[in-house]
Homo-oligomer: A and B are copies of this chain.
Amino acid sequence: MQKEHNLSKNQKIIFDLIDKSGEPMKAYSILFNVQKKGIKAPLQVYRALDKLVEIGKIHKIESRNAFIACQNSSCQISKATAFSICESCENVSEISNSKLSKYLSNFSDESGMKYSKYNLEFFGLCKKCKSK
């Protein structure tokens, strides 16, 4: 069970926006959208984003510099993220596949390194774009 976090005012505004959008949002697009709610500066956005990422409510899509709400209701998967990204329409969705996450969470090699976190991004064409 995920720890319930009481989001602060700015965190809540920004999380709600990202969550409602259902797709990855960029920091300055978020900023633009929350200006009417009194959030005026980039740093206010980035601080909220940092926190939301930290507690796993959102994830950063690194290859896109964008943020998406966590789509795994029951997970504390912020340390083990996987996404599929359509290179044509830029649709992104979070992959929740227990085999995959087990495989990767248990992955180890000869480097002597202990992996505590991973992020995986798959690219390709989604069903829609493939059939065009």
Contact = CB atoms under 8 A, between A and B. Distances in A.
Interface residues of A, number: 31
A113 B103 CA distance: 20
Contacts of A124: 113-117
Interface string A98-124: 001001100101011111111111111
How many of these chains are in the complex? 2
A123 B127 contact: no
A127 B111 contact: yes
A86 B117 CA distance: 11
Contacts of A109: 84, 95, 97
Interface of A: 62-63, 84, 86-87, 93, 95, 97, 100, 103-104, 107, 109, 111-127, 130
